[in-house]
Structure 1
Amino acid sequence: MARMLGYEPCSHSSRALFNYSSISSPEANRRLGFTFRACSDANAGDNSKRVFVKEKKKLYGFACLPHPPLLGNFEEGISVEDWSLGGSPSKPFCFPDQPLLQKLVVAVDVDEVLGNFVSALNEFIADRYSSIHSVSEYHVYEFFKIWNCSRDEANTRVHEFFETSYFKSGIQPIPGAQVALRKLSRFCNLSVVTSRQNVIKDHTIEWIEKHFSGLFQDIHFGNHFALDGVSRPKSDICL
């Protein structure tokens, strides 16, 4: 596939590795845990494949290049610049300080990603309906399966929850979510894609602006499990 696209994997990998002295040395080779094998001379003896040989025929090396650093490392001042198989490993992998020309667009959910929706809902259900459950029981958002009631009854209970202080002031942000998204927003354009209903759209926008101000470019509502209105799949929103 690489060759069909006009890309020569052997030549790119070889040029990168042979320009990187710390990787091309036998000692580094043993330390990193890989061996070099030739692309050509497939029928040659095994000894000819495991060493660097200066021949007229060009030999190609394959190896696992060092992984780029995690996002957290950028906060420690690690520069990541011009990383590609065809580039030079002498230039460390980095995102430039300037904004990227084209950022990756990332969709972020609200409930259980930005805020603890289920914890507040479960507290309301326990107090209002004397229905006691642990948060770990909520493995789906089809709450009628958790509460052992009809689907319509579950939807009614959720909309009752929307009118109470359990929902309006009881949903707390997920610890660490804001910090993580602040870092991610340096490299990505963030948008909210939530299944929340249109009836709580205004409150949801206010809550996001309060706890995650300035982070999101767009907020989209799927209107799932609504008492009225048309719902929209998250997949369609993302597309």
Structure 2
Amino acid sequence: MRRLRIAIDIDDVLAENTIGFVAFSNERWGTRLSVDDYSEHWSEMWHVDSEEAERRAHVFHDSGAIKGYAHIGGAEEALRNMSQVHHLMVATSRRLQVQSDTLLWIEEHFPGIFASSAVYFSGLWDTVHEGSHKLTKTELITQINADVLIDDQLKHCLAVSESGRNAILFGDYTWNRADSLSDRVVRCHSWSEVEVEIERIANS
């Protein structure tokens, strides 16, 4: 069995992001969003312009709401099992604005599984300042030399697979449904299924 370098997304893979985000939005701005309404393009989801969406994004990220997110069932046990054999990393598109809250959340819900030095932020949704830059998820995965990506976003999984790496598309969400997947992308509906797929990849 090969020892794999596995990169794992946070939102809706480890953390119940959409449930928490929708609840916050409905309470704070009086929206009537459901989980199925969620989109990573917040201006479209809220039906507001980009300036208002950015203002709300800052309010949300400053609120500390993500610290209260639940973790997805089965994740901790599966990750502990996998960490006995494989090198686990976190690869997220979350803004650096919530880096501190994110690291605290990871240590609370997955203590001892991820080193803080193995949590990587792509900066995809950050504002670019002098000396900073954004990475696509595929560029980040390449940079950290991951063999496998576990992510809920179909576009990231497909892009990673095109670079010759394996990807696990996690969950069955409205935003990641597809009629077919490429050869290197496998959908897993639960963390127990992820464990089985990781073992298959490691033995292939």
Superposed pair shares fold, TM > 0.5:
yes
Residue number among 78, 99, 102 corresponding to 1:204 in the alignment:
102
Which structure has more relative contact order (CA 8 Å, sep 6+)? It is 2
Q: Which has the higher strand share?
A: 2
Aligned counterpart, 2:69: 171
Q: What are the ranges of 5 or more consecutive residues in structure 1 without an aligned counterpart? A: 1-94, 96-101
Q: Which has the higher helix share?
A: 2
* Matched-pair contact (CA < 8 Å) for 1:189–1:216: no
Aligned counterpart, 1:121: 21
Work out the percentage of aligned pairs sharing the same amino acid: 30
Q: CA deviation at 1:103?
A: 1.4
Q: CA deviation at 1:192?
A: 0.3
State the superposition RMSD in angstroms: 1.7
Which aligned segments of 4 or more residues in structure 1 are displaced greater than 3 angstroms? none
Aligned counterpart, 2:41: 142
Structure 1 residues 107 and 135, CA gap change in structure 2 (3 angstroms): same
Distance in structure 2 (CA, Å) of the matches to 1:119 and 1:152: 24
Aligned residue for 1:179, secondary structure, equals: helix
Aligned counterpart, 1:90: none
1:216 maps to a residue whose letter is: F
Residues 28-177 of structure 1 aligned to structure 2 (within 5 Å): 103-138=3-38, 140-168=39-67, 170-177=68-75
1:167-216 CA-to-partner distances (Å, cap 9, x unmatched) read 33x21111111111111212211000000111111111111111112212
Distance in structure 2 (CA, Å) of the matches to 1:152 and 1:127: 21
Structure 1 residues 192 and 174, CA gap change in structure 2 (3 angstroms): same
Distance in structure 2 (CA, Å) of the matches to 1:216 and 1:116: 18
Q: CA deviation at 1:131?
A: 1.0
Q: CA deviation at 1:228?
A: 4.7
Distance in structure 2 (CA, Å) of the matches to 1:195 and 1:155: 16
1:58-106 CA-to-partner distances (Å, cap 9, x unmatched) read xxxxxxxxxxxxxxxxxxxxxxxxxxxxxxxxxxxxx6xxxxxx61100
Residues 158-237 of structure 1 aligned to structure 2 (within 5 Å): 158-168=57-67, 170-217=68-115, 218-229=118-129, 230-237=133-140
Q: CA deviation at 1:166?
A: 2.8
Aligned residue for 1:192, secondary structure, equals: strand
2:63 maps to a residue whose letter is: T
Larger Rg belongs to: 1
Distance in structure 1 (CA, Å) of the matches to 2:20 and 2:119: 22
* Matched-pair contact (CA < 8 Å) for 2:9–2:90: yes
1:113 maps to a residue whose letter is: V
Aligned length: 137
Q: CA deviation at 1:160?
A: 0.6
1:127 maps to a residue whose letter is: E
Distance in structure 2 (CA, Å) of the matches to 1:151 and 1:120: 22
